[in-house]
Amino acid sequence: MNLNFGISKEVLVALNTTKNIAKLQEIGGVQALAGLLNTNIRTGLGLNEKISEYKQRSLTYGSNTRPRAKPKRFLSHVLSVLRDDMMIVLMVRYEPIGIYIAVFCVTIIVSAANWHKERQFRFLNELKEDVTSKVIRNGETERISSSHVQVGDIIRLDQGDMIPADCVFIEGFHLTIFEPNMTGTDAFIQKDYSQPFLSSGSQVVDGTATAIVTAVGRNTQSNSTRVLIEQEKVKFTPLQIRLEKVSRDIGKIGIVFAIFIFITLCLKYIFINSISPSEVFHTDTFGVIFRYLTFSITIVVVAIPEGLPVALSISLSHSIKAMLKDNNLVRNLEACEKMACTTLILSDKTGVLTTSKMTVAEAWIAGTKYDQIPHPSQLDHDVLNILADGIAINSKAHLGVNTIDGTPVSIGNKVDCALLQMLVKNFEIDYNRIRAGSDCDLVQMFTFSPERKRMSAVVRWDVENQYRIYTKGAAEVVLELCNRYMNHQGEAITMQQQDRQLMMLHINIMSRKGLKPLLLAFNDFELQGNNNFYDLEHPPEDELIMVGIMGIKDPIRPDVIEALQKCKNASMNVVMVTGDNLQTAVSVGTDAGIYLDTDHVALEAQQLRDYNEQQREEMLPRLKIVARATPSDKQLLVEYYKKLKHIVGVTGDDARDVHALKDAHVGLSMGSGTDAAKESSDIVILDDDFSSIAKAALWGRSIFENVRKFLQFQITANAVALILTFVGCVSDKEFPLTASQLLWINIIADVLGASALATEPPSDDLMKRRPQFAYASLITNTMLKNIIAQTVYQLTLLLCLLFGHEQLFGQPDPENDWSYKKHKNDFTLVFNSFVFCQLFNMFNCRRINNEFNIVQNIHKSYLFIIVWIFCLVVQVVLVEAGWLLGFETTGLSFLEWFVCIVFGSLTLTLGFAMRVIPVPKRDLLTYIKSPKFYIERFKRRSNG
């Protein structure tokens, strides 16, 4: 027990973990609980709660931050790179200083890349956990960061909110929460006095409530288990897994090469020096053999494309950062890759395709149609009052001002905000006065749901047992519930068949203009025997009196048309799924450019549900618009399209969209949407804009593209280096490239190449292609063509230099040629030409789809330029002054430098020539199956 509070942390924690109501009652219920926690269930933490007391609170009960693993420090990254066994082997041996420099460079660069990557993802994690909560403090509702929520805080929960900490229900209407369960059985649960315990991390799906916080941070039930789970799972994206495999396969080839080279070298040594078996273990021989071993290991290091996973990581983290600039917050790494493969997007209309800046454009009020909002003097007093009361009371929205810059902000449902705006601006009525007024004893609220497409509020009159219900909602739905309408004088008139038809006509006219027709109605009724309204399950929404229809305009976003066109070019289908009626949807869809051709289909969700499977399959490819849809329809659509082998992206903002968001390959939630939706999504579209989705696809595609660019570069360099070394070893040249040179080449081919090519900004051409097939070969035919051509060219060239050096340049004259120092000159020439070939080929690899402009957008690839210049400078230093560092090079003459540069730049010419040679469409590498496949097939054949 402590001094300030009447209840200990342990008791509170136990209360929520055991969900023990008896225990709560023993304490004396929530009211008493609040007392023990020095708080008030209506006004929240009090004024006298000074800063020191807030501190005392968090000292006693903890703070609401999620426990997390400590970030790895740079040094531990360095150590984990050094732990790489092969590096150690290279270091223990006495070697010229050059090798240490090389090892040092690799270590630092790889560690830096890993460290940077981890920081990036950590930053993202922080962003994605940045959730706010509404608390009542000093009687005012405040929005604070969830991490500042304290035990004893009274929090306000509305549809879509995330519950920030464990808490106990105080009061509310129809609170339904979605509790993600550790056992995987997620469930919707009704919460009230009988089930008052709310666990942190749950989402409010329906209703509203206030609750008192009882446990925060690591003391909450979900967090104590979550930490364990988070520590366990190291999740790789599918592409990462594939690249690991590619990397391993290439590594295996390298090992085979290395073993072969090792044996060849040893045998050659033994033969040439005709060493007898007894002399093999002689120290001299042993030293030589050990040197061969180190060399072979170097070959393995070169062969293993360590840069490949690094390239992907760099590309991923680079893309994620760039996507954030484009207002896409990536919550799940895998989503970036999947965005590249997405073939279909199920998009909401409101807010995504439209601006969601809603206004009332037209109205039908009490029997008269107005082409714009009427002046209040045009309306009967009673009519105006009922209209205003209905709008003010039957809504949870607010029009506020931004405290910082004074701009107006609207909080809550956008339709409701549009109506409030009309009250304030056109009718000059203060909705807050109505809400606070004596007429407004709100006893029950039936919040809006996309299924019911309407909402209602019930108020009690001063007169006993007299109540009034205000209902508003989708016009044709609420019209069904009305049997009377108000006329111009404010009298309730029974609705005849022809009246109803006329109303429908008005609704249709508004819809065809792309407006959302919203019907407002009310009814007075009596409820006998002091019935408790909290128990009322179904709202008394029948026999309503219709007051008016508001045509609400929601303009299309200006850049959406272009973005939709981009998706079309990229063969990404867009299907609009909306809760609006069919006519409104078709009108908006046509304007946006979704629904154009005669074979496009627009239908209501009900129709879709009624179709049989065959009808559906026939219609789905042409489907463009689904109207009157509920979140569960969205989920169904995801399922249908997945069956048709589509990679489906789905947008969602409502708490009820969580299932669709989770089921889809890529769940895209809206920045303005509910926390629940965000929590279940893979990408948060911060600005809600559809064009950001198109950009996400572009970045996703660019990841594949960049990995491929690097792959082409790396494989060429590897193949040439390995074959060259191999030929050198079996011939009389022994080591055409020394171990330190090979390591430098390794740095270029791996880490530097990865940094240069994996951070390339995407070109717009990417969005002119079909979506990436998720399991398409990573090496396309075009790449294969380039790899083979370059390898053949470079090898021919280098072997000519290696074996024909003297024929080409003549016998070096020791007196004139200052650079002639050792016989190693010809090796230096080979080394230098090799590096120059790679440097020029790096340009070729910038564009791997036969594009001719290989310097396109080069000014934006700043890392490419930096890396390239860095390589160039280091190379010149290594060649001209490398011997100082023990790098086993000699300087080159001007002629030799010229030759290296010309030979290197010829790779560009070759690259251009290759671009015109056509290749078959189907990836050749897909024909090559793993040995397992052939074994299986052989078994099948021999069996059948």
Ligand X SMILES: Nc1ncnc2c1ncn2[C@@H]1O[C@H](COP(=O)(O)OP(=O)(O)OP(=O)(O)O)[C@@H](O)[C@H]1O
Catalytic center residues: 348
Q: Which listed residue (455, 503, 677, 698) binds ligand X by CB under 6 A?
A: 455
**Quick one: which of 361, 387, 388, 386 has its CA closest to 372?**
361
Cα distance between residue 329 and residue 317, in whole Å: 12
Token readout for 467 is 């109540």
350 scored as a contact of ligand X (CB under 6 A): yes
Residue 290 CA: distances (Å) to CA of 277, 284, 300, 357, 879:
17, 10, 15, 75, 27
In whole angstroms, the minimum distance from the beta carbon of 848 to ligand X comes to 40
Residue 604 DSSP SS3? strand
Whether the CA torsion 253, 255, 261, 263 is positive or negative: it is negative
| Crossing angle between the packed helical segments 739-747 and 825-844, to the nearest 10 degrees | 10
The DSSP letter of residue 407 is -
779 forms part of the interface with ligand X (CB under 6 A): no
Comparing CB distances to ligand X, the nearer of 457 and 900 is 457
How far apart are alpha carbons 319 and 453 in whole angstroms? 39
- Say how far residue 927 (Cα) sits from the centre of its chain: 33
CB of 22 to ligand X, least distance (A): 40
578 makes contact, choosing from Ca ion, ligand X, none, with CB < 5 to 8 Å by partner type, with ligand X
Q: Which stretch binds ligand X (CB under 6 A): 152-160, 246-254, 578-586, 839-847?
A: 578-586
Among 148, 472, 624, 659, interactor with ligand X by CB under 6 A = 472
| Residue 687 neighbours by CB under 8 Å, 6+ apart | 327, 671
Question: By CB under 6 A, is residue 453 in contact with ligand X?
Answer: yes
- Min. distance of Cβ 717 from Ca ion in angstroms? 9
Fill in the amino acid letter for 45: L
With CB cut-offs between 5 and 8 Å by kind, which of Ca ion, ligand X, none does residue 695 bind? none
Smallest distance, Ca ion to C-beta of residue 250, A: 9
Which range, of 500-508, 546-554, 748-756, 807-815, touches Ca ion by CB under 5 A?
748-756
**Are 622 and 644 spatial neighbours (Cβ–Cβ below 8 Å)?**
no
Q: How far is the CB of 634 from Ca ion (least distance, A)?
A: 47
Task: State the nearest-atom distance from the C-beta of 875 to ligand X, in Å.
Answer: 58
- 832 interface partner picked from ligand X, Ca ion, none, CB below 5 to 8 A per type: none
Q: What string of DSSP letters covers 610-623?
A: HS-HHHHHHHGGGE
**What, of ligand X, Ca ion, none, does residue 455 touch, CB below 5 to 8 Å by kind?**
ligand X
Residue in this structure with the two tokens 């450019």, named with its chain if needed? 593
Per partner kind, with CB cut-offs from 5 to 8 A, the member of Ca ion, ligand X, none near residue 518 is ligand X
- Select from 427, 448, 710, 803 the one that contacts ligand X (CB under 6 A): 448
- Is 213 near ligand X (CB under 6 A)? no
Binding partner of 746, given Ca ion, ligand X, none, CB within 5-8 angstroms per partner class: Ca ion
Segment interacting with ligand X, rule: CB under 6 A, options 129-137, 345-353, 540-548, 931-939:
345-353
Number of amino acids touching ligand X (CB under 6 A): 19
* CB of residue 307 to Ca ion, shortest distance in Å: 6
> Out of Ca ion, ligand X, none, which partner does residue 750 contact, by CB within 5 to 8 A per kind?
Ca ion
Contact partner, 579, from ligand X, Ca ion, none, Cβ < 5-8 Å per class: ligand X
471, interface contact from Ca ion, ligand X, none, CB < 5-8 Å by kind: none
The smaller minimum CB distance to Ca ion, of residues 102 and 637, is found at 102
β partners of residue 410: 399
98 versus 390: smaller Cβ distance to ligand X = 390
Annotate each residue in 379-418 with x if it binds ligand X (CB under 6 A) or - if it does not, as one string: ----------------------------------x-xx--
Q: How far is 170 from 344, CA to CA, in rounded Å?
A: 44
Q: Which residue, 15 or 459, has its beta carbon nearer to ligand X?
A: 459
Q: What are the tokens at 181?
A: 């369960």
Task: Considering the complex, state which of residue 99 and residue 415 has its C-beta at the smaller distance from ligand X.
Answer: 415
Burial (CB count <10 Å: 0-12, 13-18, 19+), residue 536: middle
Binding mask 512-531 for ligand X (x = CB under 6 A): ----x-x-------------
Task: State which residue, 240 or 413, has the beta carbon closest to ligand X.
Answer: 413
Select the binding partner of residue 521 from ligand X, Ca ion, none (C-beta < 5 to 8 A, by kind).
none
- Partner in contact with 416, chosen from ligand X, Ca ion, none, beta carbon below 5 to 8 Å by kind: ligand X
For residue 142, the cross-strand partners are 135
Site for ligand X in 473-502 (CB under 6 A): 473-474
Q: Which of 206, 580, 633, 688 binds ligand X (CB under 6 A)?
A: 580
How much of the chain is in helix, strand and coil states, percent to nearest 5? Answer: 50, 15, 30
Backbone angles phi, psi at 611, to 5 degrees: -60, 150
Q: Where does 187-325 have alpha helices with state H?
A: 221-232, 238-272, 283-303, 307-325
Say which entry of Ca ion, ligand X, none residue 415 contacts (CB below 5 to 8 A, set by partner kind): ligand X
Say if residues 312 and 243 touch (Cβ distance below 8 Å): yes
Amino acid at 393: I
For residues 349 and 708, which CB has a smaller minimum distance to ligand X in the complex?
Answer: 349
With CB under 6 A as the contact rule, the residue among 579, 667, 771, 891 that binds ligand X is: 579
Residues forming beta bridges with residue 215, ordered by sequence position = 166
Please give the C-alpha separations between residue 671 and each of 131, 542, 674, in angstroms, as whole numbers: 11, 37, 8
x/- map, 811-840, Ca ion, by CB under 5 A:
------------------------------
Nearer to ligand X, 468 or 847 (CB): 468
Closer Cβ to Ca ion, 746 or 907, answer by number = 746
Among 191, 318, 349, 460, binds ligand X (CB under 6 A): 349
Distance CA 231, CA 222 (A): 14
Residue selected from 166, 334, 348, 688 as contacting ligand X according to rule CB under 6 A: 348
Residues 280, 225: Cα–Cα separation, whole Å: 61
Q: Are 339 and 699 in contact (CB under 8 A)?
A: yes
Report the candidate in 162, 146, 168 with the shortest Cα–Cα distance to residue 154: 168
Q: Which of 838, 909, 839 is nearest to 868 (CA)?
A: 839
35 binds, among Ca ion, ligand X, none (CB under 5 to 8 A by kind): none
Distance in angstroms (rounded) separating the CA atoms of residues 605 and 510: 21
Closer by beta carbon to ligand X, 450 or else 812: 450
According to CB under 5 A, which one of 337, 362, 750, 826 is a site residue for Ca ion? Answer: 750
Stretch that binds ligand X, among 77-85, 343-351, 842-850, 868-876 (CB under 6 A): 343-351
Distance in angstroms (rounded) separating the CA atoms of residues 629 and 578: 6
**Which DSSP letter does residue 607 get?**
H
> Closest distance between ligand X and the C-beta of residue 477, in Å?
8
Q: Which residue is nearest to ligand X (CB)?
A: 579
Q: What is the 3-state secondary structure (H, E, C) of 417-472?
A: HHHHHHHHHCCCCCHHHHHHCCCCEEEEEEEEECCCCEEEEEEECCCCCEEEEEEE
The residue within the footprint of Ca ion, chosen from 712, 746, 838, 890 (CB under 5 A), is 746
* Number of residues that this document lists for the chain: 944
Between 146 and 746, name the residue whose CB sits nearer to Ca ion. 746
Burial class (CB in 10 A: 0-12, 13-18, 19+), 736: buried
User: Please, what is the minimum distance in Å from the beta carbon of residue 653 to ligand X?
Assistant: 7
Measured from the CB atom, the residue of 37 and 445 that comes closer to ligand X is 445
User: 683: helix, coil or strand?
Assistant: strand
Q: Give the binding site for ligand X (CB under 6 A).
A: 348-350, 413, 415-416, 448, 450, 453-455, 472-474, 516, 518, 578-580
Q: Give the binding site for Ca ion (CB under 5 A).
A: 302, 746, 750
